[in-house]
Protein backbone atom coordinates (compact mmCIF):
# COMPACT_ATOMS: atom_id res chain seq x y z
CA UNK A 1 0.00 0.00 0.00
CA UNK A 2 1.40 3.36 -1.00
CA UNK A 3 1.98 6.14 1.50
CA UNK A 4 -0.76 8.15 -0.22
CA UNK A 5 -3.27 5.36 0.27
CA UNK A 6 -2.33 5.09 3.92
CA UNK A 7 -2.75 8.83 4.36
CA UNK A 8 -6.10 8.95 2.58
CA UNK A 9 -8.45 8.31 5.54
CA UNK A 10 -6.87 11.17 7.47
CA UNK A 11 -7.06 13.45 4.43
CA UNK A 12 -10.69 12.56 3.97
CA UNK A 13 -11.51 13.51 7.54
CA UNK A 14 -9.58 16.76 7.17
CA UNK A 15 -11.45 17.70 3.99
CA UNK A 16 -14.86 16.58 5.13
CA UNK A 17 -15.97 19.94 6.58
CA UNK A 18 -14.97 21.73 3.36
CA UNK A 19 -16.84 19.13 1.32
CA UNK A 20 -19.92 19.50 3.50
CA UNK A 21 -19.82 23.27 3.07
CA UNK A 22 -19.74 22.78 -0.70
CA UNK A 23 -22.68 20.38 -0.58
CA UNK A 24 -24.65 22.98 1.38
CA UNK A 25 -24.41 25.45 -1.51
CA UNK A 26 -26.71 23.37 -3.68
CA UNK A 27 -30.31 22.24 -3.53
CA UNK A 28 -29.17 18.76 -4.58
CA UNK A 29 -25.99 17.24 -3.25
CA UNK A 30 -24.94 15.67 -6.58
CA UNK A 31 -24.14 19.19 -7.80
CA UNK A 32 -21.16 19.20 -5.45
CA UNK A 33 -19.36 16.50 -7.46
CA UNK A 34 -17.13 18.71 -9.62
CA UNK A 35 -16.24 21.23 -6.91
CA UNK A 36 -15.39 18.47 -4.42
CA UNK A 37 -13.27 16.67 -7.00
CA UNK A 38 -11.36 19.92 -7.53
CA UNK A 39 -10.65 19.93 -3.78
CA UNK A 40 -9.37 16.37 -3.73
CA UNK A 41 -7.25 16.94 -6.81
CA UNK A 42 -5.78 20.02 -5.19
CA UNK A 43 -4.63 17.93 -2.24
CA UNK A 44 -3.64 14.69 -3.95
CA UNK A 45 -2.48 16.11 -7.27
CA UNK A 46 -4.90 13.87 -9.13
CA UNK A 47 -8.28 12.23 -8.70
CA UNK A 48 -7.41 9.01 -6.96
CA UNK A 49 -9.58 5.88 -6.89
CA UNK A 50 -9.92 6.44 -3.15
CA UNK A 51 -11.27 9.93 -3.77
CA UNK A 52 -13.73 8.50 -6.29
CA UNK A 53 -14.94 5.99 -3.72
CA UNK A 54 -15.15 8.52 -0.90
CA UNK A 55 -17.02 11.10 -2.97
CA UNK A 56 -19.42 8.43 -4.19
CA UNK A 57 -20.27 7.62 -0.58
CA UNK A 58 -20.52 11.26 0.37
CA UNK A 59 -22.91 12.09 -2.47
CA UNK A 60 -24.79 8.78 -2.44
CA UNK A 61 -23.65 7.79 -5.91
CA UNK A 62 -21.93 4.64 -7.11
CA UNK A 63 -18.18 4.80 -7.77
CA UNK A 64 -18.93 3.85 -11.37
CA UNK A 65 -21.03 6.98 -11.86
CA UNK A 66 -18.39 9.17 -10.24
CA UNK A 67 -15.59 7.63 -12.31
CA UNK A 68 -17.63 8.01 -15.48
CA UNK A 69 -18.41 11.62 -14.68
CA UNK A 70 -14.83 12.49 -13.78
CA UNK A 71 -13.62 10.83 -16.98
CA UNK A 72 -15.71 13.29 -19.01
CA UNK A 73 -13.66 16.31 -17.92
CA UNK A 74 -10.13 16.94 -19.19
CA UNK A 75 -8.99 18.92 -16.14
CA UNK A 76 -9.40 15.96 -13.84
CA UNK A 77 -6.26 13.87 -13.93
CA UNK A 78 -7.09 10.26 -13.17
CA UNK A 79 -3.45 9.33 -12.69
CA UNK A 80 -0.64 11.30 -11.02
CA UNK A 81 0.89 14.17 -13.00
CA UNK A 82 4.00 16.32 -12.71
CA UNK A 83 4.38 19.12 -10.21
CA UNK A 84 3.98 21.55 -13.09
CA UNK A 85 1.40 20.90 -15.75
CA UNK A 86 2.31 22.90 -18.84
CA UNK A 87 -0.65 23.27 -21.18
CA UNK A 88 -0.13 24.94 -24.54
CA UNK A 89 -3.04 26.21 -26.61
CA UNK A 90 -3.51 24.44 -29.93
CA UNK A 91 -6.59 26.50 -30.87
CA UNK A 92 -6.91 27.96 -34.35
CA UNK A 93 -6.00 31.57 -33.48
CA UNK A 94 -2.82 30.36 -31.76
CA UNK A 95 -2.07 27.88 -34.55
CA UNK A 96 -2.07 30.56 -37.25
CA UNK A 97 0.22 32.58 -34.99
CA UNK A 98 2.94 30.00 -34.58
CA UNK A 99 1.60 27.52 -32.02
CA UNK A 100 3.06 24.58 -33.95
CA UNK A 101 6.58 25.97 -33.48
CA UNK A 102 5.88 26.76 -29.84
CA UNK A 103 4.62 23.22 -29.21
CA UNK A 104 7.59 21.70 -31.01
CA UNK A 105 9.97 23.76 -28.87
CA UNK A 106 8.18 22.73 -25.68
CA UNK A 107 8.30 19.06 -26.64
CA UNK A 108 12.01 19.22 -27.48
CA UNK A 109 13.00 21.27 -24.47
CA UNK A 110 10.95 19.26 -21.98
CA UNK A 111 11.78 16.01 -23.72
CA UNK A 112 8.27 14.53 -23.66
CA UNK A 113 5.26 14.50 -25.93
CA UNK A 114 1.61 15.47 -25.61
CA UNK A 115 0.03 14.04 -22.43
CA UNK A 116 3.37 12.90 -21.05
CA UNK A 117 5.34 13.52 -17.88
CA UNK A 118 9.11 13.80 -17.48
CA UNK A 119 10.86 10.84 -15.85
CA UNK A 120 11.69 12.93 -12.77
CA UNK A 121 7.99 13.71 -12.32
CA UNK A 122 8.55 17.45 -12.52
CA UNK A 123 6.75 18.50 -15.70
CA UNK A 124 3.65 17.22 -17.46
CA UNK A 125 2.96 18.50 -20.94
CA UNK A 126 -0.34 18.77 -22.77
CA UNK A 127 -1.66 20.50 -25.88
CA UNK A 128 -5.10 21.88 -25.12
CA UNK A 129 -8.06 23.50 -26.85
CA UNK A 130 -8.64 27.26 -27.18
CA UNK A 131 -7.88 28.92 -23.84
CA UNK A 132 -9.74 32.16 -24.56
CA UNK A 133 -6.63 34.32 -24.76
CA UNK A 134 -6.41 34.62 -28.55
CA UNK A 135 -5.35 38.26 -28.30
CA UNK A 136 -2.14 37.08 -26.63
CA UNK A 137 -1.37 34.17 -28.98
CA UNK A 138 0.46 31.88 -28.59
CA UNK A 139 -0.78 31.30 -25.07
CA UNK A 140 -0.76 28.55 -22.52
CA UNK A 141 -1.19 27.78 -18.85
CA UNK A 142 1.11 26.46 -16.17
CA UNK A 143 -0.93 24.91 -13.37
CA UNK A 144 -3.84 26.85 -14.85
CA UNK A 145 -2.10 30.25 -14.53
CA UNK A 146 -1.89 31.96 -17.91
CA UNK A 147 1.31 32.53 -19.86
CA UNK A 148 1.07 34.76 -22.91
CA UNK A 149 2.90 35.66 -26.12
CA UNK A 150 5.05 32.56 -25.98
CA UNK A 151 8.32 32.58 -27.89
CA UNK A 152 11.58 30.72 -27.47
CA UNK A 153 12.97 33.22 -24.95
CA UNK A 154 9.82 32.99 -22.84
CA UNK A 155 9.77 29.22 -23.05
CA UNK A 156 13.40 28.97 -21.93
CA UNK A 157 12.81 31.33 -19.02
CA UNK A 158 9.66 29.50 -17.98
CA UNK A 159 11.29 26.06 -18.01
CA UNK A 160 14.42 27.33 -16.28
CA UNK A 161 12.30 28.78 -13.46
CA UNK A 162 10.35 25.56 -13.08
CA UNK A 163 13.55 23.53 -12.92
CA UNK A 164 15.15 25.94 -10.48
CA UNK A 165 12.08 25.86 -8.23
CA UNK A 166 11.52 29.59 -8.64
CA UNK A 167 8.47 29.56 -10.90
CA UNK A 168 5.74 32.07 -9.99
CA UNK A 169 2.86 29.57 -9.86
CA UNK A 170 2.73 27.11 -6.98
CA UNK A 171 3.55 23.47 -7.76
CA UNK A 172 0.76 20.89 -7.83
CA UNK A 173 0.56 18.52 -4.91
CA UNK A 174 2.30 15.26 -5.76
CA UNK A 175 1.44 12.30 -3.59
CA UNK A 176 2.47 9.56 -5.98
CA UNK A 177 5.16 9.31 -8.61
CA UNK A 178 3.65 9.87 -12.05
CA UNK A 179 3.90 7.35 -14.84
CA UNK A 180 4.80 8.32 -18.39
CA UNK A 181 1.22 9.43 -19.15
CA UNK A 182 -1.75 10.28 -16.98
CA UNK A 183 -4.26 9.82 -19.74
CA UNK A 184 -6.14 6.58 -19.38
CA UNK A 185 -7.26 6.40 -23.00
CA UNK A 186 -3.93 7.68 -24.29
CA UNK A 187 -2.10 4.94 -22.42
CA UNK A 188 -4.34 2.40 -24.02
CA UNK A 189 -3.96 3.74 -27.54
CA UNK A 190 -0.18 4.08 -27.23
CA UNK A 191 -0.11 0.42 -26.35
CA UNK A 192 -1.88 -0.53 -29.55
CA UNK A 193 -0.01 1.74 -31.91
CA UNK A 194 -1.87 5.01 -31.46
CA UNK A 195 -5.04 3.95 -33.23
CA UNK A 196 -7.99 1.79 -32.36
CA UNK A 197 -7.47 -1.76 -33.63
CA UNK A 198 -10.36 -1.77 -36.03
CA UNK A 199 -9.46 1.54 -37.55
CA UNK A 200 -5.83 0.82 -38.33
CA UNK A 201 -5.40 0.86 -42.08
CA UNK A 202 -9.05 1.64 -42.63
CA UNK A 203 -9.46 4.48 -45.13
CA UNK A 204 -13.10 5.39 -45.08
CA UNK A 205 -16.13 5.16 -42.82
CA UNK A 206 -17.65 2.99 -45.54
CA UNK A 207 -15.35 0.15 -44.62
CA UNK A 208 -14.90 0.82 -40.93
CA UNK A 209 -14.56 -2.02 -38.49
CA UNK A 210 -13.47 -3.04 -35.07
CA UNK A 211 -14.05 -1.69 -31.61
CA UNK A 212 -12.47 1.29 -29.90
CA UNK A 213 -9.50 1.39 -27.57
CA UNK A 214 -9.24 -0.20 -24.14
CA UNK A 215 -10.08 2.92 -22.14
CA UNK A 216 -13.51 1.63 -21.19
CA UNK A 217 -12.04 -1.59 -19.85
CA UNK A 218 -9.40 0.34 -17.92
CA UNK A 219 -12.19 2.41 -16.42
CA UNK A 220 -13.85 -0.75 -15.20
CA UNK A 221 -10.54 -2.06 -13.89
CA UNK A 222 -10.12 1.00 -11.75
CA UNK A 223 -13.55 0.68 -10.24
CA UNK A 224 -13.13 -3.01 -9.59
CA UNK A 225 -9.68 -2.42 -8.08
CA UNK A 226 -11.23 -0.26 -5.40
CA UNK A 227 -12.21 -3.46 -3.72
CA UNK A 228 -15.34 -4.30 -1.79
CA UNK A 229 -14.61 -1.95 1.12
CA UNK A 230 -16.05 0.94 -0.87
CA UNK A 231 -19.28 -0.81 -1.63
CA UNK A 232 -22.38 -1.50 0.30
CA UNK A 233 -24.18 -4.80 -0.25
CA UNK A 234 -26.26 -3.32 -3.07
CA UNK A 235 -23.15 -2.71 -5.10
CA UNK A 236 -21.83 -6.22 -5.06
CA UNK A 237 -23.73 -7.30 -8.09
CA UNK A 238 -22.46 -4.33 -10.12
CA UNK A 239 -18.88 -5.16 -9.18
CA UNK A 240 -19.32 -8.79 -10.10
CA UNK A 241 -20.80 -7.85 -13.45
CA UNK A 242 -17.99 -5.40 -14.14
CA UNK A 243 -15.49 -8.14 -13.47
CA UNK A 244 -17.34 -10.46 -15.83
CA UNK A 245 -17.17 -7.86 -18.59
CA UNK A 246 -13.44 -7.34 -18.07
CA UNK A 247 -12.82 -11.07 -18.26
CA UNK A 248 -14.97 -11.39 -21.32
CA UNK A 249 -13.11 -8.63 -23.15
CA UNK A 250 -9.74 -10.09 -22.18
CA UNK A 251 -10.83 -13.48 -23.41
CA UNK A 252 -11.92 -11.97 -26.69
CA UNK A 253 -8.63 -10.13 -27.05
CA UNK A 254 -6.68 -13.28 -26.35
CA UNK A 255 -8.76 -15.06 -28.92
CA UNK A 256 -8.21 -12.32 -31.52
CA UNK A 257 -4.45 -12.33 -30.95
CA UNK A 258 -4.14 -16.04 -31.38
Partner 1 sequence: MPIVKVLTDGIGEADLHLIDVYRKRGGYEQWKRALTAMKPADVLEYADKSGLRGRGGAGFPTGKKWSFLPSNGKPRYLVCNSDEAEPGTFKDRMLIENAPHLVLEGMLLGAYGIGSHHAFIYIRGEFKEGYRIFAQALDEARAAGFVGKNVLGSGYDLEVTVHRGAGAYICGEETALLNSLEGKRGEPRLKPPFPAVEGLYSMPTIMNNVETLAYLVPILARGWEWFAGAGTERSKGFKIVSVSGHVQKPGNYEIPLGTTVRELIEIAGGLRPGRALKAVQPGGGSSACIFEEQLDLPYDYESLAKAGTMLGSGAVVVFDDSTDFVKAAYNLIRFFAHESCGQCTPCREGGHWLERVLERFVEGRGIQGDLEMLHRISSSITGINLCPLGDSIEPFLKSVLVRFRDQFEARIMKEPA
248 binds partner 1 (CB under 8 A): no
Residue pair 84/124 in contact (Cβ under 8 Å)? The answer is yes
Q: Peptide bond before 204: cis, by omega within 30 degrees of 0? A: no
Count other C-beta atoms under 10 Å from residue 182's C-beta.
Answer: 22
Our finding on whether 92 is near partner 1 (CB under 8 A) is yes
In degrees rounded to 5, what are phi and psi of residue 181?
-135, 150
CA distance linking residue 75 with residue 48, whole number of Å: 14
Rounded to the nearest whole angstrom, what is the least distance from the CB of residue 206 to partner 1 in the complex?
9
Tell whether residue 42 is a contact of partner 1 (CB under 8 A).
no
Out of 96, 157, 168, 191, point to the residue binding partner 1 (CB under 8 A): 96
Task: Check residue 148 for interaction with partner 1 (CB under 8 A).
Answer: no
CB 140 within 8 A of CB 87: yes
27 near partner 1, rule: CB under 8 A: yes
User: What are phi and psi for residue 46, nearest 5 degrees?
Assistant: -160, 175
Q: Does the footprint of partner 1 cover residue 193 (CB under 8 A)?
A: no
Among candidate residues 231, 93, 176, 98, the one with its CA nearest the CA of residue 106: 98
**Residue from the set 7, 75, 238, 246 that interacts with partner 1 by CB under 8 A:** 75
Q: Per-residue x/- marks for partner 1, 197-216, CB under 8 A?
A: --x---xxx--x--------
Using the rule CB under 8 A, is 217 a contact of partner 1? no
Nearest-approach distance from CB 188 to partner 1, in angstroms: 16
- Is there a contact between 76 and 52 (Cβ–Cβ < 8 Å)? no
Alpha carbon distance 17, 36 (integer Å):
11
Near partner 1 by CB under 8 A: residue from 129, 156, 236, 241 = 129
Q: Which residues bind partner 1 (CB under 8 A)?
A: 25-28, 30-35, 37-38, 59, 68-69, 72-76, 90-93, 95-97, 128-137, 141, 144-146, 199, 203-205, 208
Amino acid sequence: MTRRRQAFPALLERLRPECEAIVARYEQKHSALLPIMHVFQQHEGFVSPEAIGAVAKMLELTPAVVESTVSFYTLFFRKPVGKYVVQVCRGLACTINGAEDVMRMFREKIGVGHLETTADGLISYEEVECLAACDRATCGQVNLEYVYDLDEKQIDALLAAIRAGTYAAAPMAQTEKPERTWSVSQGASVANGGKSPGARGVQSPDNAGGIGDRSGVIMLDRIVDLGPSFYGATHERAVRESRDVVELVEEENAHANR
